[in-house]
Every structure is written in C-alpha cells, then in structure tokens.
Copies of this chain bind each other. A is one copy, B any other.
Amino acid sequence: MAETVLRAYGDWANVTKVIIDDVAAEAGVSIKTVSRVMNREPNVRPATRQKVEEAAKRLGYRPNASARGLAGNRSYLIALLYDSPSAAYLTNLQSGVLAATQAENYGMVLQPCQYDDPHLADKILTTIRDARLDGVVLTPPLSDHRGLIDSLVDAGIPHVIVSPPATYMETSGGLCVYVDDKAAAQEMTAYILGTGLTRIAFIKGTPTHGAALQRFDGYKDALKAAGLDLDPELVKQGYFDFESGVKAAEELLALPQPPSAIFASNDEMAAGVLHVAHERGLKVPDDVSVVGFDDTPLSRQIWPALTTVRQPIRQMGGCAARMLISRIRQSGDAASTALPYELVIRHSTGGPK
C-alpha cells in the first residue's frame, strides 16, 4: 500500500530526502563535521573524513544548495560571463565549466554582457552581489576589459580569465587559462612557408582581444625568422566575423600582386576568404592557400576543409572552473595555465596532409 501512495502523481519527490543530520547520525559525528567534509575543508582527520564520505555515499546524500547558500550568505555558484562569442566556442567552454563545477558541488550560471556598456563593471558587480555569486569566469573580449578586471580586483571577487595574461595582471595575481597564441601563429606561418609560399597575407582579429595581438605577433616573428620583410599591404584589420573576412579578402585578392596564402586569425574570417575566392573563381589551395584559427566545426563544413589551429576549449573551461573554485576555497595553489594547441592540416593549404 505504501508503495502505491509513494508512486502517486506528485508524491514522487517525497521518496527520499536525506539531510545532513542523517549523515551525521550514520557516521557518528556532528553535522558540523559532515559540513567540513562536504566542503573539502582542511582540519578533518582522514579516518573521520572517510567515515563521513562513506556514510554520505551510502545514504545518497546531496547537500541542499539553498540551505548552503542561505547559511553561508553565498550561492556556491560561479558565473560564466560572455559577450557574443561564437556559438561553438561558448558551448564548448560552458560544457567544460559545467562538468568541473558539478564535480565540486558548485553550480554554474550564464551571464551575457555587453563589452561596450559604460556601466559594465557596475552592473556586473551588482549582479554578483544580488546573486551572491562566488566567482566569475571571463571569456574574450571581457577577459581583456581592463576596467572590469580592476573592479573585480578592487571588490575582492574571485575571477579567472580565459585569455593570454596581460602584463598588468602579473602584479594583481590574476589567474588566466590560455593557449600560447603567439607560438601557434608562428608555427602555422612557418608551416605555410614550408609549403613554398612566401607572400602570406594576415587578417588581424578584433584589436581589443589579447589573443588577436598575440597571433599577429606570431605571424610577424615567423616572417622575421625566415628573413622576410613584412609587407603592410598584406595585413588587414578584421573583427573575427565572417563579414570582415569577406571585406579583407576582397581587398587582398584585388591587389596588383595578390598574396599566395591568407592567414585569417580565426575560422569565421577564413570562411569569408574562401567565399570570396570561390566567387572569383579562384582554386584553393592551387591559386591561394587559406588558413584559419580555432578549429570550429565550421572549418570542417566549408569547402575545402580548412587548415587551422585547434585549441582545447572544453578543457580550458574545466581548468578555469577548477582554478576558480580552488581560489574561492582559498585552498591549494592555483596558477595561470597554458594548455597545448595543435596544428590541424586539412585541404585549404598545399603541403603534405
């Protein structure tokens, strides 16, 4: 009979409800000790810790997030802050953040932002306070917003940025997760040179993105290392979107002496280059090689498939979340981390595949 009652509509939620007192009783300790173990606090004897962990597992205990938040005057939530990144970038990053976050008994919330908003920092600080957020992860271009980061530092809000470290961050102890964009761009440029092409154009990314500058630096370094001069005519300003790739390519390919290769600093702009090449009846890579950066799904879905640089976006998200939570807990030794990139050679360049 009892079973019937339990299975009735709406009663499903009452089937079990394990609270901290149950775990404390099961483990033979106080609730405060259970609390210490669940929050990975130090100063618990290993034997006690294990006893509690086993009891919690046996009972299927899940701490009540609301109670934790109310008592602690915080949310156990971290926010992912973004301003219209590409869909692929955002979903990959958030998937990494989410997984790491859940593993640590934290939650993740999403917060769209507007880089250009003059009150950006105030608004974000208000949101953080209202929602009692424990910390934030900043993605490009917010990760390069000096005013915002300064506000976060002033307010003592734990944060991690997904971007190469800016010089001013070194003194503030800011945490970064990134890929060595400069080295990657240098290596890719060297690869193109290795296919026998020397007249290589470059489409820069949004100037406010730290990574955009790094990539351009890598390109220049590779040219210099090969003893080549940089031809200013071959460098165009883009904004990491398809349209600016189209515009840059139109200018580049209309040159009296057009480039034999175009290195766009992300895949979307490279797709724009391909678009223009096709319109002009140019063969890729026979007439012109094209290279991107990011290895988004797009790079496989356009034709020909794009040679590009792969960043481990999902891992970067997980790493950022773990570093942030470690800092929130003031445990351990979180330090800025560079993750490995990888050159992906496909069919838009002429070298060996």
Q: Spell out A's residues near B (CB within 8 Å).
A: 7, 9-13, 15-16, 62, 64-70, 75, 86-88, 90-92, 94-95, 98, 107-110, 112, 125, 129-132, 154-157, 242, 268, 271-272, 274-275, 278-279, 297-298, 300-304
Q: Give 8 A-B contacts (CB < 8 Å), ordered by A residue.
A: A12-B125, A15-B129, A67-B70, A91-B91, A107-B109, A108-B110, A271-B301, A272-B301
**B62 in contact with A9 (CB, 8 Å):** no
With contacts A91-B91, A125-B12 taken as known, whether A300 is within 8 angstroms of B66 at the C-beta atoms is no
Contact of A66 among B16, B70, B272 (CB under 8 A): B70
Known: A64-B70, A66-B70. 14 other contacts (CB 8 A): A9-B154, A65-B66, A66-B75, A69-B70, A87-B87, A87-B90, A87-B297, A90-B91, A94-B110, A108-B110, A110-B110, A268-B301, A302-B302, A303-B303
Report how far A68 CA is from B65 CA in the complex, Å.
Answer: 11
**A98 in contact with B110 (CB, 8 Å):** yes
Report how far A107 CA is from B111 CA in the complex, Å.
Answer: 11
**A62 in contact with B130 (CB, 8 Å):** yes
* Chain B positions within 8 Å of A129 at CB level: 12-13, 15-16
With contacts A66-B69, A87-B87, A300-B242 taken as known, whether A155 is within 8 angstroms of B12 at the C-beta atoms is yes
Interface of A is mostly: helix
Report how far A13 CA is from B10 CA in the complex, Å.
Answer: 39
| A310 shortest CB reach to chain B, Å | 16
Report how far A150 CA is from B314 CA in the complex, Å.
Answer: 33
**A279 in contact with B302 (CB, 8 Å):** no
* Chain B positions within 8 Å of A268 at CB level: 301
List the 6 closest pairs (A to B, CB-CB), nearest first. A66-B69, A10-B156, A12-B155, A87-B87, A66-B70, A87-B91
* Chain B positions within 8 Å of A68 at CB level: 66
| A249 shortest CB reach to chain B, Å | 12
| A97 shortest CB reach to chain B, Å | 10
**B300 in contact with A302 (CB, 8 Å):** no
Contact of A303 among B16, B64, B95, B275 (CB under 8 A): B275
* Chain B positions within 8 Å of A9 at CB level: 154-156
| A316 shortest CB reach to chain B, Å | 16
* Chain B positions within 8 Å of A242 at CB level: 297, 300-301
* Chain B positions within 8 Å of A91 at CB level: 87, 90-91
**B132 in contact with A66 (CB, 8 Å):** yes
**B98 in contact with A13 (CB, 8 Å):** no
| A164 shortest CB reach to chain B, Å | 24
* Chain B positions within 8 Å of A125 at CB level: 12
**A75 in contact with B65 (CB, 8 Å):** yes
**A274 in contact with B303 (CB, 8 Å):** yes
* Chain B positions within 8 Å of A107 at CB level: 109
* Chain B positions within 8 Å of A12 at CB level: 125, 129, 154-157
* Chain B positions within 8 Å of A278 at CB level: 303-304
Indicate the member of A68, A75, A109, A274 with the most B CB atoms within 10 Å: A109
Report how far A68 CA is from B67 CA in the complex, Å.
Answer: 10
| A264 shortest CB reach to chain B, Å | 12
* Chain B positions within 8 Å of A88 at CB level: 87
Report how far A88 CA is from B75 CA in the complex, Å.
Answer: 29
* Chain B positions within 8 Å of A64 at CB level: 70, 132
